Structure 1
């Protein structure tokens, strides 16, 4: 461990660029065990290209349609915010990066910044003999070097995540069930439950969501033959790259809240265990409603809270800032990408 409590950066020197080293790194990829392997494309010169590689490795997919594609994803800060959020949400503790000898200094620094921000173990594969270029890159990072394949395999199989920084958010690990066959049909929101009305006394502030008895429901409310199994809906939502969009669409699927009401949700309107969410009737907060959150939504709902902590947003500030810009165009684009019918704003 280094002085800041993080594991030192591990550098694997594959001086002959032998396929066995890369194969070992790819074999180590196991998101369920908190290990993630990426093989960056050096041909992609976009500023956020490395963040995109990580999002894809995490199982996320960027929007593909519409003239506004990439508004957030092609900007470095939003893209790396999304990466950090999902690494913490999915409890990734070990990041393995191949072909680091081809990365620019700027991208190398992005990896070091991600290591510090998320408290992860970082292992880098260098596919050429060590030289001045590597020494320059490692000047600012505590590190140790491994030069034999047997030792490299041991290092690659490490799964011990750091518990520093924001790793205290949502510690319970959850393995998603294997979804049933997805026929690719459009999913429409189901008829939402009525929710429990929370009356606000005159002149009293609207309080955050209280914890309710945990629900183990694995499905949103059904509406006759239109019912879509929750595992299929969850599988699609899990591929959403922007954590705020993933959470907003999840809450929409459970509560039926339109974009204008999603915009009113604050950080404190989701309880600490992500078992309930409060949906406001209006800015007057006269008859807000409390909804239980099914088990399948918990990880997706926590993502927005983790994103808010990374961005230092106040707990009572909007959970989804800017969501109503241009009538929620970005959220609608995301919904279209997963073939989900987002209710129009009334």
Structure 2
């Protein structure tokens, strides 16, 4: 539902609706009520009992010939968004091609403080560290010119709205997964902000989807001020979710910037 509302989707066409289970029908109807959208169910076989009972309880149109279906779809059709609205309009291949270029994230900010170090979990369940800085893959420094490519990768490869927004923020700022849960949005009580004042359109959409998703989970109490309810923390990630974000970052072929070299402490001269 978070993606549906964020992207302004108002109509879904569900093919082979006679194969939908009763549980899935409940989910579709919940989405219909919450998002106020239309559904067109294409039934190509005997409808199951759950679907028959559902249609008997909701207002609907029964169309049984191509001409009626054409008139119906033509009536409810709304013009789609312009092709330049979303930076990810063209999908990217998944799984990743072996020769796909890696992009290097911006340098890691010093604040808020965290504990650097990321571990992702491969599909086989074996812990796999992000590419080592000692032997990194060929990385291209990430600039605004590459943001459209990264946005396409996020859209194609990251389904969870919160994880997608987290990867987008990492792309723009370089924050580590250990810093994300500590990031703050400005509020009257806590004016300090860790995120850019204005996000690019592609990242702002992802942030909106993450906010809607978080609201749906019931993690935020609307009866409390933002700094007490957690509404000013856009990424309330558990340790395993941080691992998932790190894995999603790797899936989008993004690598953390090398840590700056630290100078050894020089011995103090003794005064005579």
Aligned to 1:145, the other structure's residue is in SS state: coil
Whether 2:13 is the aligned partner of 1:99: answer no
Equivalent of 2:101 in 151, 160, 185: 185
Are the equivalent residues in 2 in contact too, given 1:179–1:232 (CA < 8 A)? no
Give the Cα separation in 2 of the matches to 1:310 and 1:189: 30
Whether 2:246 is the aligned partner of 1:332: answer yes
Question: What CA RMSD, in Å, does the superposition of the two structures yield over aligned residues?
Answer: 3.9
What CA deviation, in whole Å up to 9, does each residue of 1:239-275 have, x standing for no partner? 2101000111111111222223210235x449xxxxx
Are the equivalent residues in 2 in contact too, given 1:180–1:232 (CA < 8 A)? no
Structure 2 equivalent of residue 128 of structure 1? 45
Are the equivalent residues in 2 in contact too, given 1:180–1:231 (CA < 8 A)? no
Give the Cα separation in 1 of the matches to 2:27 and 2:91: 37
Give the Cα separation in 1 of the matches to 2:15 and 2:61: 16
Structure 1 equivalent of residue 121 of structure 2? none
Whether 2:177 is the aligned partner of 1:265: answer no
Give the Cα separation in 2 of the matches to 1:110 and 1:180: 27
Q: TM-score, normalised by structure 2?
A: 0.63
Structure 1 equivalent of residue 255 of structure 2? 341
Structure 1 equivalent of residue 163 of structure 2? 245
Structure with greater Cα Rg: 2
Q: Which runs of 4+ in 1 moved over 4 A?
A: 129-134, 177-183, 191-195, 342-345
Aligned to 2:9, the other structure's residue is in SS state: coil
Are the equivalent residues in 2 in contact too, given 1:192–1:254 (CA < 8 A)? no
Give the Cα separation in 2 of the matches to 1:104 and 1:327: 30
Structure 2 equivalent of residue 85 of structure 1? 2
Structure ranking higher on relative contact order (CA contacts 8 Å, 6+ apart) = 2
Are the equivalent residues in 2 in contact too, given 1:237–1:246 (CA < 8 A)? yes
Structure 1 residues 97 and 231 mapped into 2: Cα distance closer, same or farther (>3 Å)? same
Structure 2 equivalent of residue 256 of structure 1? 174
Q: How does 1:49-68 map to 2 (within 5 A)?
A: none
Structure 1 residues 105 and 232 mapped into 2: Cα distance closer, same or farther (>3 Å)? same
Give the Cα separation in 1 of the matches to 2:246 and 2:254: 9
Structure 1 equivalent of residue 85 of structure 2? 175
Structure 1 residues 191 and 142 mapped into 2: Cα distance closer, same or farther (>3 Å)? same
Structure 1 equivalent of residue 136 of structure 2? none
Q: Which deviates further from its counterpart, 113-122 or 181-190?
A: 181-190
Are the equivalent residues in 1 in contact too, given 2:103–2:140 (CA < 8 A)? no
Are the equivalent residues in 1 in contact too, given 2:107–2:258 (CA < 8 A)? no
Structure 2: 5+ residue stretches without partners = 94-98, 112-138, 260-272
Whether 2:214 is the aligned partner of 1:319: answer no
Whether 2:78 is the aligned partner of 1:151: answer no
Structure 1 residues 132 and 294 mapped into 2: Cα distance closer, same or farther (>3 Å)? closer
**Cα displacement (A) at 1:128:** 3.1
